[in-house]
Amino acid sequence: MTVRDSAGLTHISFRDILPRTSTITLATNPAGLQLTLDGQPVTTPIQIVSVVGLTRTLGVVSPQVVGGVSYQFSSWSDAGAATHDISTPATDTTYIATFNAQQQTLQFGAASYSTGEGSGSLAITITRSQGTSGEVSVDYAANGGTASERTDYTTFIGTVRFLNGETSKTLTLLLTEDAFVDGSKTVNLILNNPKGAILGGQNISTVTIADNDTTPSSANPINETPVFVQQHYHDFLNRAPEPAGYQGWQNILTNCPPSGRDANGNYCDRIEVSSAFYRSPEFQQRGFFVYRFYSSSYGRIPRYVEFMPDMARVSGFQTTAQEEASKVAFIEDFTARQEFKNRYDALTNPRAYVEAMEAAAGVVLSNRETLIAELATNQKTRAQVLRAVAESAEVYGKYFNQAFVVMQYFGYLKRDPDILYLNWIETLNQTGDYRVMVNGFLNSSEYRSRFGQP
């Protein structure tokens, strides 16, 4: 500043003129979320020196996902709107934005799907929103509609699991080709029993299957090699065929001589191909795996309505790790069922527990004492002991033929066995000739009527 008197003399003096300021602190609850200041994003907590009286605009980012968790804005500590102006106060002040963590949501990717009867399969999507942290799961099933599980689609039931970070899963609804002129059919799909999440509004979806037949026909689609092979994947492995296997089985049948034997004298006809699906490692490790739990625990055959959902839980395209997780989940569910609890919960003594399973299965386990000791010393859980019994060589050998027969009813006829299944077991035990049995089911009018005129 310069001062001049009347005589013209001057004096210069320097002074700092500074505005009044205060510190604004922006924070969130929970800590570490993003806000905006004057329209620019900032990560909290943050401190800003501002001129007193200066207008600043506070805002939120909502929803926002941090660490796989979705957060929704709730309120500001000064009761302002999500985005609002403040006049910088004369004293240091903290503004806190409170957010609520949102529960993850699982739902179908669409409220409805449509496809043609001849498509073979339909992809169904389940989506995960409002965060992706941790593992969540949900059960799915077909529940009602005008379509029939026996003639229009394959059992659709199971549990889908989302690993950390996963946002969607694709399931496959397997469709059956037939020659009936019966118009479009519907299948209602539902989600239930979510774990670690909640159901979204789209937890029911309707599938419309358009008929591809317009006039009655005496031709039966199951006579066609591609349909025959595809249906075996559906009925015995509960999945769509992989391209190489699908073509490979067709090639075997197409190149099989009228004698039904190849150049090496090995059978290559429909009977042999059909039986190969039951005898395949995939079915043995999945379908027969499930079957043996009923033999080991209850000493009885499973019912169709029990077995098909259980098999569906461990079937399909799965990695080794996914298959193992599916098996563990199945066993946990199996041991929680009322029939199992009624039979075994009172048997708290390890020896009594193991020997009761031996008695139910009708076998003498070579590793009985080991299992008893492992259960007594907590090296194995009761569920793990059950699995060891079910996977034992004794149980496998005793029930292989029985399961082979029962699966003819489950796979071909889609129903429980009648009393004649005992005759088939006796024949198989005495002769080992499975071809007579498979031929009987494969060419029965009951089986062929699933697809058209017998």
Check whether residue 153 and residue 210 sit in a common domain: yes
In a domain, 5, yes or no: no
Query: Is residue 30 very low, low, confident or very high in pLDDT (cuts 50, 70, 90)?
Result: very high
Task: List C-alpha distances in Å: 215 to 158, 182, 227, 448.
Answer: 36, 10, 19, 19
Most confident of 89-93, 309-313, 428-432: 89-93
In a domain, 433, yes or no: yes
Looking up residue 68, the CATH number of its domain turns out to be 2.60.40
Q: What is the pLDDT of residue 15?
A: 67
Structural domains of the chain, count:
3
Average pLDDT over residues 254-271: 96
Q: What is the pLDDT of residue 4?
A: 78
In a domain, 158, yes or no: yes
Check whether residue 52 and residue 190 sit in a common domain: no
- Give the orientation angle of helix 350-361 with respect to helix 393-408, to 10 degrees: 40
Taking every pair of Cα atoms in the chain, the longest distance, rounded to a whole number of angstroms, is: 137
Percent of the chain residues past pLDDT 70, beyond the cut: 99
In a domain, 2, yes or no: no
Check whether residue 110 and residue 198 sit in a common domain: yes
Q: What is the pLDDT of residue 5?
A: 74
Check whether residue 279 and residue 374 sit in a common domain: yes
In a domain, 9, yes or no: no
Q: Do β-strands 93-102 and 21-29 pair in parallel, antiparallel, or remain unpaired?
A: parallel
- Choosing from 102, 126, 151, the residue where a domain stops is 102
Q: Can you give the pTM of this predicted structure?
A: 0.77
* Residue 273 falls in which region: left (phi positive, over 0), alpha (psi -120 to 50) or beta: alpha
Check whether residue 131 and residue 183 sit in a common domain: yes
Answer yes or no: is pLDDT of 17 > 80.
no
Looking up residue 177, the CATH number of its domain turns out to be 2.60.40.2030
Domain assignment of residue 238, given as a range: 225-448
Output the average pLDDT for the chain: 93
Q: What is the pLDDT of residue 324?
A: 92
In a domain, 110, yes or no: yes
**Burial class of residue 260, CB neighbours in 10 A (0-12, 13-18, 19+):** middle
pLDDT tens, position by position, 188-204: 999 999 998 999 999 99
pLDDT tens, position by position, 394-425: 999 999 999 999 999 999 999 999 999 999 99
Check whether residue 243 and residue 137 sit in a common domain: no
Check whether residue 123 and residue 253 sit in a common domain: no
Alpha-carbon span 447 to 198, nearest angstrom: 41
Rg of the chain (C-alpha set): 34
Answer yes or no: is pLDDT of 146 > 80.
yes
Answer yes or no: is pLDDT of 1 > 90.
no
pLDDT tens, position by position, 71-97: 999 999 999 999 999 999 999 999 999
- Choosing from 68, 102, 136, the residue where a domain stops is 102
Alpha-carbon span 279 to 415, nearest angstrom: 20
Check whether residue 53 and residue 122 sit in a common domain: no
Average pLDDT over residues 227-231: 97
**3-class SS letters over the chain:** CEEECCCCCEEECCCCCCCCEEEEEEEEECCCCEEEECCEEEECCEEEEEECCCEEEEEECCCEEECCEEEEEEEECCCCCCCEEEECCCCCEEEEEEEEEECCEEEECCCEEEEEHHHCEEEEEEEEECECCCCEEEEEEECCCCCCCCCCECCCEEEEEECCCCCEEEEEEEECCCCCCCCCEEEEEEEEEEECCEECCCCEEEEEEECCCCCCCCCCHHHCHHHHHHHHHHHHHCCCCCHHHHHHHHHHHHHCCCCCECCCCCECCHHHHHHHHHHCHHHHHCHHHHHHHHHHHHCCCCCHHHHHHHHHHHCCCCCHHHHHHHHHHHHHHHHCCHHHHHHHCCCCCHHHHHHHHHHHHCCCCCCHHHHHHHHHCCCCCHHHHHHHHHCCHHHHHHHHHHHHHHHHHHHHHCCCCCCCHHHHHHHHHHHCCHHHHHHHHHCCHHHHCCCCCC
Answer yes or no: is pLDDT of 392 > 90.
yes
- Choosing from 102, 120, 146, the residue where a domain stops is 102
**Side-chain half-sphere CA neighbours of 27 within 13 A:** 12
pLDDT tens, position by position, 436-451: 999 999 999 999 999 9
Check whether residue 124 and residue 86 sit in a common domain: no
Check whether residue 37 and residue 184 sit in a common domain: no
Answer yes or no: is pLDDT of 68 > 80.
no
Alpha-carbon span 295 to 176, nearest angstrom: 31
- Are 108 and 126 contacting, i.e. CB atoms less than 8 angstroms apart? yes
Check whether residue 271 and residue 300 sit in a common domain: yes
pLDDT tens, position by position, 108-122: 999 999 999 999 999
